Amino acid sequence: MLRRLAVISALAAVAFAALPARSARRPRHGGTLRVEIGASVASLDPDVEAATAEEAAAKWQIDSLIFDHRDADGEFAGAAGSGPFRVTAFEAGKRAVLAANEEFREGRPFVDAVEIAMGRGAHERLVDLELNKTDFAQILPQDARRAAELGVRVSASQPDELLALVFVSGNAAATSSARTTSQAPGHAAGQALSLAIDRVAIVNFILQKTGEAAGGLLPQWSSGTAFLFPAAAPSPADLEHAKELWKQIAPSAALVLGYDSADPLEQSVAERIVVNAKEAGMSVRAQAMPGASAGADKSRGAAGQATHVDVELVRWRMTSPLPGVALKDFLARIFLGPLVGVEAGAFPEAASPEDIYKQQRAVLNTYRVVPLVWLPQVYGLNARVRDWKAPGPGGNWPLADVWLDTETPTPAQTPLPTGVR
Amino acid sequence: MAKLGDEVAAAMSPTAVALSVENISSLDASDVAAIGAALREQLQHHSFALPAANSTAAQSAVPLQLTLSESASEYLWVVQIPGDSAGTNSVPVMMVSVSKSNFPEAEPGEQSLSLEKRFVWKHSERFLDFALLKDSSSGQSLLLILEARRLEIYEPSGAGWQLSRSTPIPPMAALSRDSEGRISLKEGKIWFKGFECVGDPDLTGVVQCKISPPNHNIVERMTIPGLPNSLGTLVYGECRGETISVYTGEGDWTQTDFLQGYLISLGPISAVAVGDAIQVRGPVISLQPERDTSAVRAIIRNLKTEEYEAYIVTATCGN
């Protein structure tokens, strides 16, 4: 079954990355690449802190185009314009124009310029891609299938963003009456929720099959051990087990599930979880919380404490394709959030696959972190964009390698046959 | 495989086991069969019984599942008792990791070679070779430029490179009008005709040279049907299961040139040009393989500007 899923995923990736037939031609120089982003970047100065996680992510991408290298802390260093592009125009929060750096030591980029329009909403970006008003824009995973149906070229990365439930530290009132005293607070409720949630349905219906059900803290392509953390749809026995666990807890009020009010995906998933929980006899209430804008890397925790919630949805981006590095970053978040105060087990610097597996197992057995789905980064591309390759975790948009095929007619430019209007 | 067999033996008393093998990696069926057979052999070596699948003994055997998986960097072979999704069984999950280099990739279908050149540096004076590396202490990018009588080290500066220091190469032989030299970062050496140099502690430090043993570093050129009589080098990596090489055209140093990718097969030995050639603005005067990557370092004398230009040319095998 897993192999079949892997094959299907690979086929989907190929279909998404499908290029026009004349893709073997040599790269061409010239043209302006039109980019749209959701964030409004106030400053490109690496020393100026971004107001939101979404702005920080967008700023990091732009800075990676204009700075040649980063220092030991990973911060961009040197002079702006030492990278493949230099800034020729910048309107804070609205637009930026970058010109190719003729002297870039790794070679001049193929395109002459990159024009970045900021503050474009997800719907606007999709419409502009469809109407050929932009060449490149990130689109929401749940919109990938619709975008492809609208004729937009879609490129998806390996799934590298985890959508998970985490129990909010200190807000475990609903679970504090657990009769099994050997279990940590939240353990039984977390286990019951984990058993009741239909992850496969979330992937198939909410994400329109753009993503993978998650049982572990790392995806299969990175760790190779995700298959040891099954994420299949709940069986009748799983639902019975969830009911039993919930009866043991006998909470006085419904569990409050927090989600980012600005994130439509989180809202849909939260509502789905409420339905799944009800099917297992559990009482869960979804509660919108003010948070970062949709699509950004979110690791709130504190937000969950400001608005009373027992459990909340989080989205964690991997920072590296290497499983040891990515897990170490996740563990730092986990032991500062849902497992704050719990002593972290030893995790060696050069962790073996077995160390990585055992560490995931230890965290997941607390049931204070419940993985739900893996999301890819999804990009919409104009037909004239060539040599685009979706970056892996921690990578930046390789816009210096992209070239524009000016001979490829866009649908809007294609002359209509005589008599067709 | 012996390690995995040892782990199973350490976790379970010898008994009858029914081993099933599932492959969720990119390994092909023949590798999967070979790995399964190797584990069976190891288990028998540890006195486990492996009854035939349809036998009555198999019905009471302990089920064991071997899953062949892979991570971003290596293969993983995992043995577990099936159905233990919570990892609570008395028999733990056992796994070993295996380098992907132990298994050649499956032969792809219609793959082709594509060459891409990336400009690195240029200079009015002739240089023999160049290399990009990271400074071991600061992590900063460095550019080594090898000339006939010195090794220059450049550091990033703004949009380009700035000379940081210059290390003289002790004269070990009369200067040739057609000097040849090669940097080998892997070996930490510089090779010249007749002598070789090592850096202390590496090529960014002091350079000491000695005369090479007679016939050392001389490679007999072998004629391979299909390859041009020109400058060329093998490239790290394979395409269609064959060795990649890159060769120049056959013109002289007054003519523009090109670089063409070839695939060399061994039985019978022959070479076939694959993919499009890339044109360059002057003769290619040096072509050296890059370490651990399917790329070559090319130095081209630009006939229009009369400058010497350094490029990294990457060979990509793809559909």
Mean pLDDT of B160-178: 81
Residue of B nearest to A73 (CA): B139
Both A291 and A204 in one domain: the answer is yes
Q: Which amino acid appears at position B207 of this protein?
A: V
ipTM, 2 dp: 0.79
Which pTM does this prediction carry? 0.66
Q: Looking at the structure, do residues A385 and A371 belong to the same domain, yes or no?
A: no
pLDDT score, position A121: 95
DSSP-assigned beta bridge partners for residue B260:
B247
Rounded to an integer, what distance in angstroms lies between the CA atom of residue B295 and that of residue B311? 10
With a cut of 80, say whether residue A222 has pLDDT above it. Answer: yes
* A1 within some domain: no
φ, ψ of residue B16 to 5 degrees: the values are: -80, 130
Does A409 map to a domain?
A: no
Is residue B87 less than 8 Å (CB to CB) from chain A?
Answer: yes
Do residues A283 and A393 both lie within one domain? no
Q: Which residue has the tokens 């060399």?
A: B264
Domain ranges, residue A304: 161-375
Same domain, A47 and A139: yes
A187 and A95 assigned to the same domain? no
* Sign of CA pseudo-dihedral A339, A342, A343, A345: negative
The verdict on a CB contact (< 8 Å) between B116 and A27 is yes
Beta strands across the sheet bearing B62-70: B17-23, B62-70, B74-80, B94-99
**Helix (H/G/I), strand (E/B), else coil: A143:** helix
Decide if B72 and A2 are in contact by the 8 Å CB cutoff. no
Task: Measure the CA–CA gap between A372 and A392, rounded to whole angstroms.
Answer: 21
Surface of B (264-283) touching A: CB under 8 A = 276, 278
Q: Give how far B119 is from chain A: nearest CA, Å.
A: 5
Say yes or no: A136 and A250 in one domain.
Answer: no
Q: Does one domain contain both A122 and A77?
A: yes
Residue A2 lies in a domain: no
CB contacts of B72 in chain A (<8 Å) are 221-224, 321-323
- Asked if pLDDT for residue B189 goes beyond 80, the answer is yes
The sheet with strand B129-134 has its strands ordered as B129-134, B141-146, B150-157, B160-168
Distance CA A344, CA A42 (A): 38
List of residues 6+ apart from B114 with CB closer than 8 A: A24, B261, B275, B276, B315, B316, B318
CA-nearest residue to B162 within chain A is A105
Give A351→chain B minimum CA distance, Å.
Answer: 12
Overall number of domains in chain A = 2
The residues, any chain, with a CB within 8 Å of residue A91's CB and separated by 6 or more, are none
DSSP at A84: S
- Which chain A residue lies closest to B94 (C-alpha atoms)? A354
CB spacing of A105 vs B121 below 8 angstroms:
yes
pLDDT at A11 over 70: no
Q: Which of A375, A396, A412 is the last residue of a domain?
A: A375
By Cβ distance, the residue of B25, B97, B160 closest to A105 is B160
- A188: domain CATH number is 3.10.105.10
B12 against B136, higher pLDDT = B12
Q: What is the CATH number of the domain that holds A395?
A: 3.40.190.10
What is the band of B137 on the pLDDT scale with cuts at 50, 70, 90? confident
Residue B101 CB-half CA count within 13 A: 3
Closest residue by Cα to residue B50 from B97, B96, B5, B98: B5
Which among A224, A229, A361 is the nearest to B71, CB-wise?
Answer: A224
Do A57 and A71 belong together in one domain? yes
φ, ψ of residue B282 in degrees (nearest 5): 175, 180
B85 and chain A in contact, CB less than 8 A: yes
For residues A188 and A245, the answer to whether their CB atoms sit within 8 Å is yes
> What are the φ and ψ backbone dihedral angles of B213, each rounded to 5 degrees?
-60, 150
Residues A261 and A321 in one domain: yes
For residue B191, the distance in angstroms to the closest alpha carbon of chain A comes to 26
| Per-residue pLDDT band at B202 (split at 50, 70, 90) | confident
Q: Which of B71, B141, B145 to probe the A interface (max A CBs under 10 A)?
A: B71
Cα B213 to Cα B60, B196, B210, distances in angstroms: 68, 10, 9
Nearest CA to B64 among B29, B14, B26?
B14
Asked if B24 and A357 come within 8 Å (Cβ–Cβ), the reply is no
Residue A418 covered by a domain: no
Express each pLDDT in B116-130 by its tens digit.
998 999 999 899 999
Are the Cβ atoms of A353 and B95 closer than 8 angstroms?
yes
Interface of A with B (CB under 8 A): 2-3, 6, 24, 26-27, 68-69, 72, 78-79, 81-82, 101, 103-108, 220-225, 227-230, 321-323, 352-354, 357, 361, 365
- Can you give the three-state secondary structure of A290-315, one letter per residue? CCCCCCCCECCCHHHHHCCCCEEEEE
**In chain B, what are the helix, strand and coil shares in percent, each to the nearest 5?**
10, 45, 45
Is the CA virtual torsion A282, A286, A291, A292 positive or negative?
positive
Q: Is B159 on the interface with A (CB under 8 A)?
A: yes
For the segment B252-291, what is each residue's pLDDT rounded down to a tens digit? 778 889 999 998 887 677 888 888 899 999 999 999 998 8
Q: What are the chain B neighbours of A24 within 8 Å (beta carbons)? A: 112, 114, 276
Q: Give the model confidence (pLDDT) of A107-153 as tens digits.
A: 889 999 999 999 999 999 999 999 999 999 999 999 999 999 999 99
Are residues A126 and A218 located together in one domain of the fold?
A: no
CB nearest A104 (choices: B73, B116, B159): B159
Are residue A81 and residue A211 in the same domain, yes or no?
A: no
A45 burial via Cβ count (<10 Å: 0-12, 13-18, 19+): exposed
Q: In this complex, do B112 and A322 lie within 8 Å of one another by their Cβ atoms?
A: no
Binned at pLDDT 50, 70 and 90, residue A305 comes out as low
Query: 3-class DSSP state for residue A194?
Result: helix
A294 against B178, higher pLDDT: B178
Contact A101 B161 (CB under 8 A): no
Claim to verify: residue A359 and residue A315 sit in the same structural domain: yes
Contact flag A3-B22 (C-beta cutoff 8 Å): yes
CA neighbor of B285 nearest in space, from B317, B319, B248: B248
Interatomic CA distance for residues A126 and B277, integer angstroms:
38
The band of B195, judged by pLDDT with boundaries at 50, 70 and 90, is confident
Check residues A236 and B111 and name the one with the higher pLDDT: A236
- Model confidence at B251, pLDDT cuts 50, 70, 90, reads confident
Shortest alpha-carbon distance between residue B79 and chain A (Å): 11
Q: B203 and B184 in contact (C-beta within 8 Å)?
A: no
Tens digits of per-residue pLDDT, B52-77? 877 888 888 888 999 999 998 899 99
Q: What is the pLDDT of residue A131?
A: 95
Give the span between the Cα atoms of B75 and A291, in whole angstroms: 40
